[in-house]
Amino acid sequence: MDDDELLVMVPKSMEAEDTLTWDPVLMPRPETEQTHQYVPDPFLVNRIKHELPKKDAVLFLALDFIATPVQEYAEQRPFFPRLALWVDGESGLIAGNYTYAPQNIWKEFQADFLELINKVGYIPESIGINSPMGMEFMDVYGDLLDVDLVYAPEHPLFAELRSTFQQFF
């Protein structure tokens, strides 16, 4: 699959059985303009900046699509959820894991990121990120919290995550 293609689920009606099934099809990525404006909650960001210390530490964010489509109810078009794994750079332990459906992903990601920062108890000096999608989601926080965002898809930690969770990615 190229970057200019999308894997979409296309409905296929089974008239004889009066059921609906879905087939995966590669389609060209449509040309779209950025339609969402993601604005973090300034109150929460300011609270974190004032309550949590900055620490010379690294967190890692692996944000990818889960390779298996899901449906939340029978008539819904299947979708590929996103999985976010946060890893502490010192210990190598998973500090948080979250899954996202396409609806309200920006709002949910913001809430989960702020929860994670409170959970670890510090603002990291840098965050290593494995995907362009992760860079897009974290871009605004890098500026607001003065955190260096490092695009590092080839980092050994991400290779370890891929091998450990290969059935998901």
Q: How confident is the model at residue 17 (pLDDT cuts 50, 70, 90)?
A: low
In a domain, residue 3? The reply is no
In a domain, residue 25? The reply is no
In a domain, residue 18? The reply is no
What is the per-residue pLDDT for 77? 82
User: Which domain covers residue 104, as residue numbers?
Assistant: 36-164
Query: Taking 80 as the threshold, does the pLDDT of residue 19 lie above it?
Result: no
Please, what is the average pLDDT of the chain? 85
Query: Taking 60 as the threshold, does the pLDDT of residue 132 lie above it?
Result: yes
In angstroms, rounded to a whole number, what is the distance separating the alpha carbons of residues 37 and 156? 33
Query: Taking 70 as the threshold, does the pLDDT of residue 5 lie above it?
Result: yes
CB 80 within 8 A of CB 66: yes
CB 82 within 8 A of CB 99: yes
In a domain, residue 5? The reply is no
Instruction: List pLDDT tens digits, range 50-87.
Output: 999 999 999 999 998 888 888 888 878 888 889 999 99
Instruction: Quickly tell me which residue has 């396409």 as its tokens.
Output: 102
In a domain, residue 122? The reply is yes
Q: How confident is the model at residue 16 (pLDDT cuts 50, 70, 90)?
A: low
The first and second tokens of residue 89, run together, are 């750079």
What is the per-residue pLDDT for 47? 86
CA quadruple 156, 89, 47, 45: dihedral, nearest 10:
-10
Of 38-47, 52-61, 111-120, the least confident:
38-47
What is the per-residue pLDDT for 40? 78
CB 79 within 8 A of CB 9: yes
Query: Which of 1-10, 14-23, 112-121 shows the highest mean pLDDT?
Result: 112-121
- For residue 78, which of 27, 24, 26 has the smallest C-alpha distance? 24
Query: Taking 60 as the threshold, does the pLDDT of residue 36 lie above it?
Result: no
The first and second tokens of residue 17, run together, are 């059985």
In a domain, residue 31? The reply is no
In a domain, residue 8? The reply is no
In a domain, residue 150? The reply is yes
What is the per-residue pLDDT for 85? 93
CATH number at residue 122: 3.30.420
Q: What is the pTM of this model?
A: 0.74
Number of domains in the chain: 1
